[in-house]
Structures are given as C-alpha cells and as structure tokens.
Chains A and B, each alone.
Chain A
C-alpha cells in the first residue's frame, strides 16, 4: 500500500494522553486516560456501547476538540505530522453520511482538493486508491447506488488517496451483511500486514484480533482497562469481556415451539410483485405457507426481495399476480424504529394514547419487560438505538396478532436488546402466533429460527432448517452470508441525479461555464419585468425556446414534454388578469358572476403568461444543460463564495433522493399505525418528525466527516485556497452568450 510514513517514523510517538477527561455537556464520556501510542502499533479498540470508543477515535484524529464540541481536561499531545489535511484517514460507521459529492471519482478527489493537489495529477491517485481498497467501479458512477460494503470501500479509498499516517475505522462493518464484513476485514488485515498504523473499533472483533498486534479495552465508565498485545490481553481478560457483554458464549439453538400441527396463518400461491406496471418483477412465483407457532427467518442479499415479501405478507402491498391468503391479523415492524413513533413520550407511545401522569398498570408492566422504565417520560427520538428498537417492538406487540413480520429487528443492536426482543417474540409464538423476520444475522438464525427461507432474485431458493442450509455454500454466498464476489446488478440501477448526456454536454449551451451561464440567464429573466406589450413578451419568450431547440442538444420532444404543464399556468395567468386587472372606468367590461372581464386585462394576462414562459424556458435551458456538482462549485470558483457554503450545500442536496425513499417508507409506516397516525390538527407538526430528526443528525455526521477529510481552515473558507477536480473553462463563448441573450432581451423590449 502507498501509505507512507513520510513525516511520522515507525516507532515514533504519535499520541500521548495523560489524565485526559472528555465530556459532552455534563456527561463525562472518557475518564482519566493515560496512553502512549506509537506509529506502527495497529490497535483494536474494544468496549461496550457508550464506553467512549468513538470519542477516543475523534480525540486521536483531532476532531475533538476541533470540530466536535466537547470539554477536554488533562494533557494531550499529538504528533504535528498528524495535523495535515488527510494525515488521519477516517472511515465512519454510517456509509452514506461520510460522503459529500455525487460520483465516485469526485468523492475521492474531495480530499485531494483539500490538500491542494494539482487537478492534473488527481486521476492516477484516485485510480490507485480505488485499486488498493478493492473497489472496481467507473469514476463517473453515482456512489449512492453502491452497496453498503462498496460504500465502505469507497470511504477507505478516500482516506488512502491522501497517504494517511494513521487510518481510523469506527465500526466500519456495523451496517454490513456478513459477506461484505469479511470483505472489509480483508482490506484492514492487508493494511496491517503492510505495516500501516490502523485503529479499528469493532464489535465483531474476534475475526480481526489475531491480525492486529495491540488491543485497548475500554470499560463502561470510559476508563482504559487494559492496553497491550492482543493475544495476551484477550486470552487473559476473557472473563472481563464476558462480564462487559462483549463476547457471547457460542450460540445454542433454543427449542422451538413445534409448529407443524398448527393452523396455517398465511398462504402465498405463485405470488409476483413489481413496483409500477412496467418495472421488473421483484417477486416471482413465490409459494409459501406460514404456520402458527413458528419463527421463520428470511435470508437473502440486499435487493433480493426480502422487504417486498414481508410487506406482501403484511398486506402493505398488493401482489401483481397470484394469491395471498391470511387468517388473522398481521403486525409489521419497520427497519427504522423511528418510523413507528407517533407520540412525543415513551409512555404515550406504549399506551397508544396520551396518558398524562397516571401510567396504566399494563403499560407499566411492559415498560419493565422491555427495560424502558427509566425512559418513560423521554421523547422516543431521544432514546439510544437499542431503546428505540425495544420500544418499537413493544408498540408492535401491544395487540395480539396471528402473524408478526419484522424487517431486520436486530440490525445493529447489542446482545441485550437482541435477547429482550427475541424472548418477547418467543412468548407470542408459544401463544400460537407466527413470526417472520428478515435478517443477515447468522447467530440469530442458529439460535432462534425454526425455519429458514432464502430469497434470491425474487424467488424462494431454499426453504428448510439451518443445519441443512449450513451445508450449502452456494446458497450462503447468494444470501451474502458468506464472502463471495458481489454481483454487479446494482450498478445498473438508474442514476438519482440527472446529468446532461454527451450530446447535450458537447452542444454550444452545454459547453458554457455553469456559473456565468447562471448569471447571464438571471439578468435576462430580470429584464422580462419590463415587457408590457404583446410583441415584447412574445419575442422574450422566443429567445430561450430558440436556444433550447437549436443549440442545446436536447430532443425537441423532451423540451415539449417539459414545457407542457405550463399550459395550465398560462391559462391561470390570462384568467387572473382578465378578471382582476385594474382598468379605467370607461373600458367596456363583461360581467360574469362576480367577475368583471375586460379585453385590456386579457391582453395583460397573455403578456404575463408569455413573460412566465420566457422564465420557464430560460430555467429549462439552465437545468438541462448543467451538472449540479459543477454548478454549485462554480459559485465558489467564479464568484468566490466560500467553499464551505458551496460544498456544504452540495453535501446537503445529495441526500434529497435518499429522503424521497425515506418519505415513502414513513408514509407506509404511518399507515400501519392506523387511525392515530393520520393527518389531524396536532399531527401536522409531528408527522414528519422522524424524517426531520434524521435530517438533523445526518447534517452533524456529514459535517464531521467533511472536516475529518481536511475540509477546515483556509481551504473551506477561501475559494482560491483550494484546487478543483473538474476543469471549468471560461472562454469567449461565455461572454458571447451573456452579451447575446441580454442584448436580445433588450432589443425585444425596445421593439
């Protein structure tokens, strides 16, 4: 690997902590840390949730006290070589929120730009970094459509491109399936073997431990419990690890309830499903029978159709062919627990109504069952991940149903939450209900599932018991439970952001500098306010239409299609002014109902409509011939907007498609909660709360990730203090275009 130790020699001290305390507000997270860390000592950080592992990593990288507001006491020394942009590579748990660009190449280039690398030299570095992380995709691919595992590889590539002195990975596999986890681990092991300095925080550390020479144990109070050679420490501290809940004794299958004689609660006969009439089949010829009392685990790769099948079972989606027969009611648990919350207090949520200060006995009992008694007055959104999940399952189990469907209920949860959830589900099983869960968690399947169903490509490819499936490596690979080459089908997913095609890009309009094009169009649209006569307005409307049809490389049909809805608006403007334009007393008017229609008003309306058509045409000319990334960056490059505003805005805008998907899920979840969750006076505000809370948390993570990649200080403040990956030529064409459209608009007005 190209990780060089240019300024930090192996064996040199890179971090010294003595008596360091770190607190957020009044909450003390790390206590009395004393630690010397040397380059070359790759280390595994192990500790329970809330032990302060991420805080320690941020302390090491310099994000604390720089970017993250935390109080620090004691003395902290970092090697000055670690302060350069990109000297510490950082890979975060949540793959999506560490990116701030749209395509693979420009994402890796972001760090290089922060380092002021010459744009001419960027591409070889980017290609090299992608090769080292093992990600094989084209540079102009939108990374939003990559799988979770490949997103983490991209994040690693972003770090590697900068030749980091230290690479920090903070639970990089927490959201990945077993196959992708193995893949990322292989990367980490390779870096360590090549002599790089790596810090890894990982819950599933047992596979990594033999390869990392050092381990640091953090206890629940945020103290360093041990630091030393991993083989030694981990074997000697086995009991401590068990006590802290960091390792589990090997999974023991728990006896099922025995479902075979029980009644069928759900039957599916050759069920097919698709989203939209022309979309490909997501489910194809699915035949399944679910009986009361059994726990069925649904396995399969992402996109194999697991969630669709679950929704189909719960009646949230209609089959496009085939038959679904249910006997009894079905409950559904969404992957994101927040989607299920409709109240602002935990107790209200559990009672499914506002209960005030008197907590009903049944609710109180369930608070204890799900270990939420200390949280009862909190907002559901303010809970920890585990508590949120327990609450959402508790809500779902409020009523007796024949079938419970849960979408990845133990995803990213600690051992305690997992056990609580599974035990409660088992109780329902004993009472004759069936449970179907989708999952990637092999241990969970071994321990709890009575039956396993594997979906691949929308078809059921296995239906049996775990011991049988365990002997089928082909199926395990297809279900992403075992490492194997990832299938490339996701790369065919449609792009989320519209990018001008080659024909448009090479057209006269497409070649213009985006910033100056925006400004010229602004001025031209501004001039439309001065058009008062029909001929003036008609000429103004002609300008963008001529440019669109002749010089933009767009197909005429597409232009017409995009402008068609405008017809309605045109009619509205004509009507408004026909009926409401102020006319002199002598002007003849026609009285219809309470309207006074006038001819001069009608003409005014047509003028206004044409002016609007001009603005719409100019707008279409702009959006269909620029690339969003380049447009936003050109604001810095051409008009010296501080990069933190342009890049920060871009980082926010890229989440838009993600929120569209979330919104669809949220609406479905609200539908499931039924009557209580529908729109009503008080709900207007809380309906979208899950989405907005998510947006806030996302902004924080994105901002920290950007700063971790060197986007601080001058390169973030001054447009000229950084380099830019994309060329942005400015030429005589821009001047000609600007002068021409402004002159044409002026001429039209003078007419």
Chain B
C-alpha cells in the first residue's frame, strides 16, 4: 500500500469515464424492467459499479473505489442520464459500499474473493440510497429484502467477477506492469 501516483489518478479517471458511458447505456436499457418486477430489475444493478471494482483492483489505493464511482457517476450524469444529478450521488454511495469491503481487507487483500465481497457490499450502498431516494422504502418487506439480496448478488457478479476477468485479460496483455496490481501482488491476482 502506498500513496497515489499520477498514473493511478489518470487511469482512474479514464476507466471511470468509460464506465460512465456504459452506465448511461445501462440506464436506458434496463429502466423498463421494473414494469415486470423491482426485484427482478435489481439483478441488473451490479454493472452500475463496475468502475468501483476494476479500478481499485488495478491501482490498489485507499479511496480508489470511491473516486472511480464518483467520476463514473458524474460522467453518466453529465452525458445526460435520466437520473440527473442522482446518477452522481448514488455513485458515491455505491463507491462507499465497495470501499467498506477493501477497508475490511485493510487495503491489502485484492484477490478474487475480496473483489466479489467488496462489490457485493457496493450493493448495500445502492440499497441504502435507493431506500431513501428511489422509493424502495415503500415496497413491501419481502420485496425490500429481495431487492437487497438480488442487488448484492448482482454486484458480486456484474461488478466483481466481471472486473476481475477484465483486469486479468489486461494483465495478460502485459500493459499493467507499472501498476500496483503487478508490482504489489501478481501472485494473488492470478489465483
């Protein structure tokens, strides 16, 4: 664990901005799903914090998930998300959730299991925010519990597993040699 280098910050910004574009696409694609069932729609939530998974996995700095999700959410908002400025604020909430996972690992553990755990915790951030701002508190208790559980699983898969796979592909491509993922933990990353 060390302090942020310039390249870590720029990489965070670029990856998050790209993720912001994905988030916007996801907004438009999957907002129609709650017409069927809000618990079912929660299954798509996880992709909205993939930046919070992949960026910390590569740069391994405290606050990486929070910064990545803030920038990603801001980009989603600035590109014209139908959620308006809330695309940004929920990003912060999700980032804090993921950060909690890495904090428990004392910013030293970044293996696939921790990626999955942290990204599942990002789902708690999403739940808390949605509870207050997106009407989740008005659902029946069963729907609320369902929403939370499905959101966390979705985070574990769509943010956790997916970003681990992407980072692994980048690792094989040999472009990450100057980042913490290689310098501080190659063995762990490959397991």
Partners in one complex: yes
> Interface of A with B (CB < 8 Å)?
25, 67, 69, 344, 378-379, 381-382, 521-522, 525-526, 528-529, 562, 565-566, 568-569, 572-573, 575-577, 580-582, 601, 604-605, 608, 611-612, 615-620, 622-623, 628, 644-645, 648-653, 655-656, 659-660, 684-686, 689, 691-693, 695-700, 702-704, 706-707, 711, 716
B38 partner, pick from A378, A576, A628, beta carbons under 8 A: A576
Give Cα A505–Cα B89 distance, bound, in whole angstroms: 26
B67 partner, pick from A575, A645, A656, beta carbons under 8 A: A645
Given that A685-B165, A699-B7 are contacting pairs, would A576 and B34 also be in contact in the complex, using a CB cutoff of 8 Å?
yes
**Is B82 within 8 A of A693, CB to CB?**
no
Q: Mark B134-169, 1 if CB is under 8 A from A, else 0.
A: 110011110100000000000000000010011001
Beyond the given A529-B133, A619-B85, A649-B12, please list 20 additional residue pairs across the A-B interface where CB-CB is below 8 A. Answer: A378-B174, A379-B174, A525-B84, A529-B132, A562-B80, A568-B31, A569-B82, A577-B135, A580-B38, A580-B143, A615-B83, A619-B77, A619-B87, A645-B9, A649-B71, A652-B16, A685-B166, A696-B176, A698-B14, A700-B11
Interface residues in B40-83 by Cβ distance below 8 A to A read 58, 67, 71, 75, 77-78, 80, 82-83
Given that A529-B133, A572-B31 are contacting pairs, would A615 and B85 also be in contact in the complex, using a CB cutoff of 8 Å?
yes
Give Cα A25–Cα B183 distance, bound, in whole angstroms: 10
Chain A residue at minimal CB-CB distance from B80: A562
| Nearest-Cβ distance from residue A542 to partner chain B, whole angstroms | 15
Given that A608-B134, A645-B67, A693-B173 are contacting pairs, would A652 and B11 also be in contact in the complex, using a CB cutoff of 8 Å?
yes
B85 partner, pick from A525, A605, A652, A656, beta carbons under 8 A: A525
Given that A69-B178, A576-B38 are contacting pairs, would A344 and B82 also be in contact in the complex, using a CB cutoff of 8 Å?
no
Query: Which secondary structure dominates chain A's binding surface?
Result: helix
**Is B84 within 8 A of A696, CB to CB?**
no
> Interface of B with A (CB < 8 Å)?
4-7, 9-18, 21, 31-32, 34-35, 37-38, 58, 67, 71, 75, 77-78, 80, 82-89, 132-135, 138-141, 143, 162, 165-166, 169-170, 172-179
Residues of A within 8 A of B14 (CB): 652, 655, 659, 695, 698-699
**Is B139 within 8 A of A580, CB to CB?**
yes
Give Cα A628–Cα B80 distance, bound, in whole angstroms: 14
**Is B18 within 8 A of A685, CB to CB?**
no
Give Cα A692–Cα B67 distance, bound, in whole angstroms: 19
**Is A692 within 8 A of B17, CB to CB?**
no
Residues of B within 8 A of A696 (CB): 11, 58, 170, 175-176, 179
**Is A644 within 8 A of B35, CB to CB?**
no
| Nearest-Cβ distance from residue A93 to partner chain B, whole angstroms | 18
Give Cα A572–Cα B14 distance, bound, in whole angstroms: 32
**Is A693 within 8 A of B170, CB to CB?**
yes
**Is A652 within 8 A of B17, CB to CB?**
yes
| Nearest-Cβ distance from residue B190 to partner chain A, whole angstroms | 14
Chain A residue at minimal CB-CB distance from B9: A648
Give Cα A382–Cα B162 distance, bound, in whole angstroms: 22
**Is A379 within 8 A of B173, CB to CB?**
yes
Give Cα A251–Cα B177 distance, bound, in whole angstroms: 40
**Is A644 within 8 A of B4, CB to CB?**
yes
Residues of A within 8 A of B11 (CB): 652, 695-696, 699-700
**Is B85 within 8 A of A521, CB to CB?**
yes
B34 partner, pick from A575, A582, A612, beta carbons under 8 A: A575
Give Cα A648–Cα B9 distance, bound, in whole angstroms: 6
Residues of B within 8 A of A652 (CB): 9-14, 16-17, 71
**Is A67 within 8 A of B172, CB to CB?**
no
| Nearest-Cβ distance from residue A679 to partner chain B, whole angstroms | 14
Q: Could you write out 30 A-B pairs with CB less than 8 Å apart? A: A69-B178, A344-B172, A379-B172, A379-B173, A521-B85, A562-B80, A572-B32, A572-B34, A576-B38, A582-B139, A611-B133, A615-B83, A615-B133, A623-B77, A645-B4, A649-B67, A652-B9, A652-B16, A691-B18, A692-B18, A695-B15, A696-B176, A696-B179, A697-B175, A700-B7, A700-B11, A702-B7, A703-B5, A703-B6, A703-B9
Residues of B within 8 A of A580 (CB): 37-38, 138-140, 143
Chain B residue at minimal CB-CB distance from A601: B138
B18 partner, pick from A601, A659, A684, beta carbons under 8 A: A659
Residue among B34, B138, B179 having the largest count of chain A Cβ atoms under 10 Å:
B138
**Is A618 within 8 A of B13, CB to CB?**
no
| Nearest-Cβ distance from residue B87 to partner chain A, whole angstroms | 8
Give Cα A304–Cα B174 distance, bound, in whole angstroms: 36
The 8 A-B pairs with the shortest beta carbon distances in the complex, nearest first, are: A652-B13, A616-B84, A648-B9, A619-B84, A382-B174, A619-B85, A703-B6, A381-B173
| Nearest-Cβ distance from residue A655 to partner chain B, whole angstroms | 6
Give Cα A702–Cα B14 distance, bound, in whole angstroms: 11
**Is A344 within 8 A of B10, CB to CB?**
no
**Is B31 within 8 A of A649, CB to CB?**
no
| Nearest-Cβ distance from residue B20 to partner chain A, whole angstroms | 8
Give Cα A660–Cα B18 distance, bound, in whole angstroms: 9
**Is B5 within 8 A of A577, CB to CB?**
no
Give Cα A171–Cα B78 distance, bound, in whole angstroms: 37
Residues of B within 8 A of A382 (CB): 173-175
| Nearest-Cβ distance from residue A594 to partner chain B, whole angstroms | 9
Residue among B10, B169, B170 having the largest count of chain A Cβ atoms under 10 Å:
B10
Give Cα A529–Cα B134 distance, bound, in whole angstroms: 9
| Nearest-Cβ distance from residue B21 to partner chain A, whole angstroms | 8
Give Cα A608–Cα B86 distance, bound, in whole angstroms: 13
**Is B6 within 8 A of A67, CB to CB?**
yes
Residues of B within 8 A of A575 (CB): 34-35
Residue among B13, B89, B134, B175 having the largest count of chain A Cβ atoms under 10 Å:
B13
| Nearest-Cβ distance from residue B71 to partner chain A, whole angstroms | 6
| Nearest-Cβ distance from residue A377 to partner chain B, whole angstroms | 11
Given that A569-B82, A576-B34, A616-B82 are contacting pairs, would A692 and B166 also be in contact in the complex, using a CB cutoff of 8 Å?
yes
Residues of A within 8 A of B133 (CB): 528-529, 611, 615
Residues of B within 8 A of A644 (CB): 4, 6, 9
**Is B169 within 8 A of A653, CB to CB?**
no
**Is B173 within 8 A of A649, CB to CB?**
no
Residues of A within 8 A of B134 (CB): 608
Residues of A within 8 A of B82 (CB): 565-566, 568-569, 616
Residues of B within 8 A of A381 (CB): 173-175
Residues of B within 8 A of A685 (CB): 162, 165-166, 169
**Is A651 within 8 A of B138, CB to CB?**
no
**Is A618 within 8 A of B173, CB to CB?**
no
Chain A residue at minimal CB-CB distance from B137: A582
Given that A522-B89, A618-B84, A619-B77 are contacting pairs, would A604 and B138 also be in contact in the complex, using a CB cutoff of 8 Å?
yes
Give Cα A217–Cα B110 distance, bound, in whole angstroms: 45
**Is A617 within 8 A of B84, CB to CB?**
yes
Residues of B within 8 A of A529 (CB): 132-133
B83 partner, pick from A612, A622, A691, beta carbons under 8 A: A612
Residues of B within 8 A of A650 (CB): 13
| Nearest-Cβ distance from residue B41 to partner chain A, whole angstroms | 9
| Nearest-Cβ distance from residue B164 to partner chain A, whole angstroms | 10
Give Cα A173–Cα B169 distance, bound, in whole angstroms: 33
Give Cα A382–Cα B141 distance, bound, in whole angstroms: 52
B139 partner, pick from A581, A622, A649, A716, beta carbons under 8 A: A581
Give Cα A692–Cα B174 distance, bound, in whole angstroms: 12
Residue among B77, B86, B166 having the largest count of chain A Cβ atoms under 10 Å:
B86
Residues of B within 8 A of A573 (CB): 135
Give Cα A617–Cα B141 distance, bound, in whole angstroms: 31
Residues of B within 8 A of A653 (CB): 13, 17, 71, 75
